Amino acid sequence: MATEVKVPTLGESITEATLGEWLKQPGDDVAVDEPIASLETDKVSVEVPSPVAGKMGDYSVQVGDTVEVGAVIASIESGEGGAKSAPTPPEAKPAAKDDAAKPEKAGQQAPADGDVEAAALSPSVRRAVLETGVDPSTIKGTGKDGRITKEDVMAAAENKGAGTPAPSPAPAATPVPAPAEGGARNEERVRMTRLRQTIAKRLKGAQNEAALLTTFNDVDMTAVMEARSKYKELFEKKHGVRLGFMGFFVKAACMALKDVPAVNAQIDGDEIVYHDYADISVAVSAPQGLVVPVIRSADQMSVATIEKTIGDFGKRAKSGDLKMDEMKGGTFTISNGGVFGSLMSTPIVNPPQAAVLGLHRIEERPVVRDGQIVARPMMYLALTYDHRLIDGREAVTFLVALKNAIEDPTRILIDL
């Protein structure tokens, strides 16, 4: 007897999603509440649990299809009904059919028919495997339930030259000869994820509606770096989390937002909404792109609590466990492009917020101190803001207050 698997309720005002990947192949054993598929919504990935125990049945939709809440996406064969499909899972996986049919694009051989592990990889991971030539069976996955992520593949590719490759995979790495007419010029079309589509619409909408302007300043990181170096071991021992720079910047931003409340406000029709609290959105990296969870009432938190919250967000963003409610709201955003090496940028406001702070990489530059040219670890700060609400004077005042707090962290302790 087959039991239908339907798209669960996805959250307030969300009626549809995109099928991101199948986590189970036809014929696989499935336990009650075990995830069998991953759905991509406007904000996060949502796993679909099995309603019963049994064998994975046929798919009703393919990877990339848009599905509505309540739609049937697959079936589960209870008891022994699905046992006969177990020996042939590769032939019953329509979601991976198109990708498997075109492995020559990357110059690599397709996985063997019996390679269920390779067939179960997500589309982005399969593309990375084909492009790098890394054997997925040699990779230890860091994703949810030990699944291999794209980052795992890229890390394995970087370390590939350090070890001696096994003799057996060598033929798979042999390039396909170029056509006689000339070198191959391949193209690949990949449908945008729902998350990427939503990001594109929101960012373009912000540019079209708001009057965006960016103001820059720089900050000497000497004092914060010295404090971090001095107390990082004691901090981690006491609080169980590493002491980073974001805790300092979030606290300093909360203080500056109190001094300049317009930066923490938003426009609603013909009214301005001021907030007496600071819900700070922090951009963190996830396999499907950047996500922006919110630190609620960050102005009431200690540096240690902020660091713990950000660390938890980062872990759950990589595993896909962030909840939609955790990314709603927010009165101000901090985006740290410095972790990727960015020297300077003009971040885009996240509507309906009025401003976003961009942090960048720290590098030693010559500066003048007491009439002497010295090398100091400097960082550029960028505040992009909606000029309809925030004047240039207010933007500069905010950045100066932030700069003063970072260059003299004692101000954070005494709220000065």
- For the question of residue 239 being annotated catalytic, the response is no
Return the half-sphere exposure (C-beta side, CA atoms, 13 A cut-off) of residue 366: 3
**Neighbour count for residue 224 (Cβ, 10 Å):** 24
From 98, 325, 391, 408, active-site residue:
391
Write the single-letter amino acid at 161: G
C-alpha 287/C-alpha 290 separation (Å) is: 8
Q: Are 239 and 215 in contact (CB under 8 A)?
A: no
Task: Identify the three-state secondary structure at position 14.
Answer: coil
**From residue 249, how far is each of 224, 257, 303, 310, 321 by CA, in Å?**
10, 12, 9, 12, 26
Task: Report CA Rg, the chain.
Answer: 25
- Residue 213 has phi, psi (to 5 degrees) of -145, 145
Q: Is the peptide bond before 352 cis (omega within 30 degrees of 0)?
A: yes
Strand partners, 49: 35
How far apart CA 387 and CA 99 sit, in angstroms, is 47
Determine the Cα angle at 360 with ends 358 and 361, to 5°: 170
Q: What is the rounded distance in angstroms from the CA atom of residue 310 to the CA atom of residue 247? A: 9
Number of other CB atoms surrounding residue 253 within 10 Å: 27
Q: Kindly state the tokens that stand for 357.
A: 């702070």
Degrees to nearest 5, angle at CA 322 with 264 and 234: 75
Q: Is 33 a catalytic residue?
A: no
> For residue 92, how many other CB atoms are within 10 A of its CB?
15
Q: 215: closest CA among 340, 408, 398?
A: 398
Which residues are marked as active site?
387, 391
